[in-house]
Amino acid sequence: MSATASSPVLAFVGAGALGQSFAGLLAKHGQAVTLLATQRTAASLLAAGRIRLQGIVACDIPAVSAPAPPGSVGITTDPADLPAGVGTIFLTKGHDLASAIAHVRAAWPRPGDDAAWVAGLQNGLAKDDMLAAAFGASRVVPGATILGGGRGADGVVTVTSLGMTYLGEMAGGSSPRVDAAIDALMAAGIPAEAPASIQSVLWSKACNAAGVFGVSVLARASGPQLSGDPNLMRAYLALVRETAATGAASDVTVGNYPNFPPIYTYAVSPEEETLSKITPGPLPRGGSLPSMTQDVLASRPMEVEQVFGDLVARAERAGVIVPHLTFVRNILRGIDRITRGD
Ligand SMILES: NC(=O)c1ccc[n+]([C@@H]2O[C@H](COP(=O)([O-])OP(=O)(O)OC[C@H]3O[C@@H](n4cnc5c(N)ncnc54)[C@H](OP(=O)(O)O)[C@@H]3O)[C@@H](O)[C@H]2O)c1
């Protein structure tokens, strides 16, 4: 299906930073798109009558009740409003994914809608198993994004990077439904591709998430501080290597992907070789904080289970020894429990 046709190709669940960015940009480029939101966010977007994106893409996009004409984002709280035959991409936080899946699955896809498919772009590897359990493995298109953004207290979304969005079939490569989704994203100005192995991308992203979140949450370090300090980089590399070894036990080889740390190189190179590339000198004072660090500092729940709990469980099943991942999982579980006031 052409991305410029009026019939929808994609729909989204979760109207936060990513959901508003993806849905807003598709609508801005004339596509028909539905965005399933929580009651409170649906009410505020419909009251405002628009999605406002700022940062590297500054625009207002009309937001109206679904179904919306092409060029507007159709907002709904009812999964029965999700169109037939589309790919629905879940963009809730990992800890809200189970309830969002249950809500959607109760009403969508309708019987006979054989073309409908689902994806989740959450950090961690757990999402695809959860989607497969609810919708069936054949409906799941694994995916990952490094599009970056955040939603401010005023509800406005700041897009910091369009990054790259990866979609691909579980067994590798592309398919007509993946090609249609990539066309739709590219037509909206969102870089997207189907890699040879989506599993390699997912594990490479998991390596970086484990390293960055594990170190940054504990050290309260920004990205530039982490990559500029040899001790923090040693800790990061230990988490990257353990995650890569866990992937290797499932026959997945991590890779070096554009606009992303060279995970394959980090996993296989001697540590001193990587550390020798750090520019000596004072550490930057600031720099943007990784999302999980922002969450803990704002007393929001962290995606501990979806990132660290799931990785450690996979390592245990495969017989891979992961002491650094286990240590981080345990500490972050404790911090998260304190944050939640359990
Ligand atoms: N932001 C990034 O730069 C980035 C990059 C790569 C990956 N990710 C991953 O992508 C995921 C989403 O990130 P985000 O930054 O967009 O998070 P976010 O801004 O917190 O947005 C999550 C959205 O999900 C909504 N939600 C929760 N439960 C729901 C349900 N049952 N039905 C419908 N909507 C529901 C939330 O509702 P409310 O509006 O009521 O809060 C919120 O709008 C996370 O797993 C994150 O790790 C994010």
Does a cis peptide bond (omega within 30 degrees of 0) precede residue 8? Answer: no
Test site for ligand 1: of 36, 45, 91, most ligand atoms within 8 A of the Cβ: 91
Residue 25 · residue 188 · CB < 8 Å: yes
Is 0.85 surpassed by the pTM of this model? yes
Test site for ligand 1: of 78, 90, 93, most ligand atoms within 8 A of the Cβ: 93
Cα dihedral 212→214→220→222 (10° resolution): 0
For 187, other C-beta atoms within 10 Å of its C-beta total: 18
Distance 151 CA to ligand 1 centre (A): 9
142-178 burial code (b ≥16 CB/10 A, e <16) = bbbbbbbbbbeeeeebbbeebbbbbbbbeeeebeebb
Q: Is the CB of 100 under 6 A from ligand 1?
A: yes
Residue 63 CA from chain centroid, whole number: 23
* Ligand 1 atom nearest 100 alpha carbon: 31
Q: Which pLDDT tens digits describe the chain residue by residue (342 residues)?
A: 444 446 899 999 999 999 999 999 999 999 999 999 999 999 999 999 999 999 999 999 999 999 999 999 999 999 999 999 999 999 999 999 999 999 999 999 999 999 999 999 999 999 999 999 999 999 999 999 999 999 998 999 999 999 999 999 999 999 999 999 999 999 999 999 999 999 999 999 999 999 999 999 999 999 999 999 999 999 999 999 999 999 999 999 999 998 899 999 999 999 999 999 998 888 989 888 999 999 999 999 999 999 999 999 999 999 999 999 999 999 999 999 999 888
Query: Token pair of 320, please?
Result: 């891979």
Determine the Cα angle at 90 with ends 28 and 212, to 5°. 100
Residue 14 · residue 27 · CB < 8 Å: no
Angstrom distances, CA of residue 151 to CA of 24, 99, 113, 294, 330: 13, 21, 34, 12, 29
Residue 252 CA from chain centroid, whole number: 20
Q: Is the CB of 300 under 6 A from ligand 1?
A: no
Could you tell me whether strands 10-13 and 87-90 are parallel, antiparallel, or unpaired per DSSP bridges?
parallel
